[in-house]
Amino acid sequence: MIMLATAIEVASEHKGKPDDGLSFDAIRRTACYVPTGSGSLFAWLHERSDNPNVEHGVIICPPIGHEQLHSHRALRHLADHLAMESVPVLRFDWSGTGDSPGNDEDPDRYSTWLSDITNAVQWMRHTCGCHRVTLIGLRMGATLAALATTDCEVDNLVLWAPVQKGRTYVREMKAIGLTSAVSVVATSDRNQDIEAAGFTLGSRTIADLGQIELQSFRPQCRRILVVVREDLPDGHQLCDEWATAGIDVEQIACPGYFEMMTEPHRTEVPQQAICDISNWISHVIKSQQGLDEAKDSVRPRLTRMSETTCKSLDTQPECDIRESIFEVDCQPGLFGIITELATSVENELPIVVLLNAGSANRTGPGRLNVFMARHFASIGFRCLRLDLGGIGDSPCESAGRENDPYPATAFRDIDRTIEELVRRYPTKRIVLMGLCSGAYAAFQAAAQLPNRALIESVLINPLTFFWMDGMTLETAPSKQLTTFHYHIGAAIQPRKWLKLVSGRSKIGIVGAIQLLACRLKLLNLSPRESRKPVMEDQSSSSIFHPPVEDLSADLRRIADTGRHLAMFFSSSDPGFGILNFHARREATRQRSSGRLNVGFIDKTDHTFSTRAARSDLIQAVSAYLVRRYSAK
């Protein structure tokens, strides 16, 4: 658990580009900490760059669990869109979620989340001068926003696909947990907990959420908009019940919910829903102007701080940790969070840079990057969890390339980040670390970047070592290789041949021939281009995906630069097989010489979506880092 200082701490200003054709400097996004009774919430304040004085503010309450991670992109777009209407918008991470302090095991999460909303409203009023506040909530965030109006005065509510029955929501999370790729077996003292898609609901939280009956609750506000899914309308029962009670409520159906809430690399921004919500809020704000006596609308001056003190309670012995905003001042900028010991005692340990996994923001699937960063910091390794351009909160040069898990600009971004770290910490060396696509970026950065500060890359469940523009996750060599091995295994079974020749096979004879052609391509039987060595004067702006696939050559090039490699694989993941298929001889040679370390984590899936799996991974990686660097 991390406890943050209670002072208002606006950490950094970060300019971003809304993706609807607006100018690059139209929106100012400011990373900040919102004080709570026991700590702080990490948040973003979105405003127009010309900073108009307005008295109405909006707070976005995200969902919880995996839905919070998946909806991050859409809610950022919503905040930008509203900010362009001259409405300051705050979006925050609940206590124990995202970049905020705490974890799933913290007590009284339900009551704490309700308090988070109250604290956010007070912050908007006292810090931004917003006398009126509208709450927008998505899924459980919408439900909590409505429930918070009992103790928190707000003017309006926008409830987007709200959870109406807590018991139904709990059943949904339990079903997700039961369909996990890994069988989740709770320990005896946690047998009532639910682990769903990498996030945990404790027994107390389950009980509290299970009591929710939104239809029987009466929100305390002037107006309510209920936004339901166009593909799954829930009728007008909730609105009818509230209207009967005298509440000014209306309902609209909007498309795009499913596309917004899918896996991060597949998400689509629900533009129609965002426009409808923004139009409703703009209309409401105009209609409510002048209802009260005129108030001073001059916005208070924000107190800017670049760091905050944290308390780590999940390590032995207990230690203080500091988290601070990290920003690379370039166009477009890069954003991240630095985690380190609060009592900054300089050592010779390298800085660990955690890269995005897929298109998930810097917190990682199941907050894996947060847990790793805070644990590594507790044993002395300063860590940076970074958003590459177009992912999370780092803006993208081109709207069409946003949310790309394998951006060609990744190596430029990594190089700029290393340069900024070296500027701040001149004597430090850098270790890159990433899961899945982050592993690929770390691997190819080690193979291509000339910066001598980079000394090692740690790859966690890499699925590919080669990528090129136009490639998709479905057409990647790793996907083709896995499919080929399945069908080759089936080829030795007579009944499979019978299905093939009788036309009952899914791939058919033509498909089998195509698969064989794919196999020949994977074997790289055609002559390869020679790979250029890393040059000291090579510019990062000229480094993109490698021109040809040659894993053995890449491994040799990394070794020739003096850099080290470590790879950690889930025992059920195909990554180790992919490594051996493409470069068994070279990988074996480097393992023997100590240039490559390989470790395995049992009983887990690709993203380490259970508490036990995350713990096993973190312990294995931290033990490796200590062995390699503590004695130096």
Share of the chain above pLDDT 90, in %: 64
Specify whether the CB–CB gap between 555 and 590 falls below 8 A.
yes
Q: What is the 3-state secondary structure of 432-500? A: EEEECHHHHHHHHHHHHCCCCCEEEEEEECCCCCCCCCCCCCCCCHHHHHHHHHHHHHHHCCHHHHHHH
Quick check: helix, strand or coil at residue 111?
Answer: helix
Specify whether the CB–CB gap between 88 and 46 falls below 8 A.
yes
> pLDDT-based confidence at 611, cuts 50/70/90?
very high
Phi/psi-derived region of residue 453, left when phi > 0, alpha when psi is between -120 and 50, beta in every other case: alpha
Of 206-215, 269-278, 364-373, 512-521, which gets the smallest average pLDDT?
512-521
| 31: Cα within 13 Å, side-chain hemisphere | 25
Of 492-501, 582-591, 606-615, which gets the smallest average pLDDT?
492-501
Predicted local distance difference test score (pLDDT) of residue 22: 47
Q: For residue range 149-159, what is the model confidence (pLDDT) as tens digits?
A: 999 999 999 99
Predicted local distance difference test score (pLDDT) of residue 14: 52
* 182 compared with 260, residue with greater pLDDT: 260
Distances (CA, A) of 434 to 181, 365, 369, 427, 445: 21, 12, 9, 23, 11
Please report, for the chain, the start and end positions of each structural domain, with discontinuous segments joined by +: 27-165+212-288, 319-395+405-470+535-629, 477-522
Instruction: Specify which residues 252 forms β-bridges with.
Output: 227
Nearest-CA neighbor of 478 among 576, 547, 553?
Answer: 576
Separation between Cα atoms, residue 441 and residue 569, nearest integer Å: 16
Predicted local distance difference test score (pLDDT) of residue 302: 55
Separation between Cα atoms, residue 430 and residue 348, nearest integer Å: 11
Integer distance in angstroms from the first to the last C-alpha of the chain? 30
The secondary structure element, H or E, covering residue 12 is: strand 9-16
Q: For residue range 564-589, what is the model confidence (pLDDT) as tens digits?
A: 999 999 998 999 999 999 999 999 99
497 pLDDT higher than 80: no
Quick check: helix, strand or coil at residue 320?
Answer: strand
Instruction: Specify which residues 566 forms β-bridges with.
Output: 458, 597
520 pLDDT higher than 60: no
72 pLDDT higher than 80: yes
506 pLDDT higher than 90: no
> pLDDT-based confidence at 179, cuts 50/70/90?
confident
Distances (CA, A) of 351 to 162, 346, 417, 454, 623: 42, 11, 12, 10, 16
Beta strands 596-601 and 194-196 are: unpaired
Separation between Cα atoms, residue 506 and residue 512, nearest integer Å: 10
The reply to whether domains 27-165+212-288 and 319-395+405-470+535-629 share a CATH topology is yes
Of 36-40, 138-142, 185-189, which gets the smallest average pLDDT?
185-189
- Region 287-302: what's the mean pLDDT? 59
Give me the torsion for CA of 190, 191, 194, 198, rounded to 10°. 60
Separation between Cα atoms, residue 146 and residue 126, nearest integer Å: 22
- Read off the tokens for 235: 């009728």
Separation between Cα atoms, residue 109 and residue 193, nearest integer Å: 14
Q: For residue range 233-242, what is the model confidence (pLDDT) as tens digits?
A: 666 789 999 9
Specify whether the CB–CB gap between 239 and 251 falls below 8 A.
yes
Q: What is the 3-state secondary structure of 70-135? A: HCHHHHHHHHHHHHCCCCCEEEECCCCCCCCCCCCCCCCHHHHHHHHHHHHHHHHHHHHCCCEEEE
AA identity, residue 407 = P
The 10 Å Cβ neighbour count of residue 180 is: 15
Specify whether the CB–CB gap between 106 and 48 falls below 8 A.
no
Quick check: helix, strand or coil at residue 284?
Answer: helix
Q: What is the DSSP letter of 316?
A: S
600 pLDDT higher than 60: yes
Predicted local distance difference test score (pLDDT) of residue 580: 96
308 pLDDT higher than 90: no
Instruction: Specify which residues 223 forms β-bridges with.
Output: 156, 248
Predicted local distance difference test score (pLDDT) of residue 182: 59
* 328 compared with 191, residue with greater pLDDT: 328
Separation between Cα atoms, residue 449 and residue 470, nearest integer Å: 23
The secondary structure element, H or E, covering residue 100 is: none
* 31 compared with 314, residue with greater pLDDT: 31
Q: For residue range 437-488, what is the model confidence (pLDDT) as tens digits?
A: 999 999 999 999 999 999 999 999 999 999 998 887 666 656 555 554 444 4
Nearest-CA neighbor of 331 among 18, 25, 10, 1?
Answer: 25
Distances (CA, A) of 49 to 133, 239, 332, 569, 596: 20, 37, 16, 45, 49
252 pLDDT higher than 90: yes
Question: What mean pLDDT, rounded, does the chain reach?
Answer: 84
521 pLDDT higher than 80: no
Separation between Cα atoms, residue 504 and residue 274, nearest integer Å: 46
- For the domain spanning 319-395+405-470+535-629, the CATH number is 3.40.50.1820
Q: For residue range 97-129, what is the model confidence (pLDDT) as tens digits?
A: 999 988 888 899 999 999 999 999 999 999 888
Separation between Cα atoms, residue 446 and residue 428, nearest integer Å: 17
Predicted local distance difference test score (pLDDT) of residue 114: 97
Specify whether the CB–CB gap between 112 and 106 falls below 8 A.
yes
Q: For residue range 17-43, what is the model confidence (pLDDT) as tens digits?
A: 444 444 546 888 999 899 888 788 999
Predicted local distance difference test score (pLDDT) of residue 50: 79
Fold classification of 27-165+212-288 (topology level) = Rossmann fold (3.40.50)
- Region 374-394: what's the mean pLDDT? 96
Residue with structure tokens 């889930």? 570
Residue with structure tokens 């007590």? 107
- Region 416-427: what's the mean pLDDT? 95
Backbone angles phi and psi of 614, in degrees to 5: -60, -40
Distances (CA, A) of 512 to 229, 486, 509, 518: 42, 12, 5, 10
262 pLDDT higher than 70: yes
- Region 514-539: what's the mean pLDDT? 50
Predicted local distance difference test score (pLDDT) of residue 86: 87
Contacts of 213 (CB under 8 A, 6+ apart): 164, 165, 166
- Read off the tokens for 14: 């970060």
Predicted local distance difference test score (pLDDT) of residue 511: 57
526 pLDDT higher than 80: no
95 pLDDT higher than 80: yes
515 pLDDT higher than 70: no
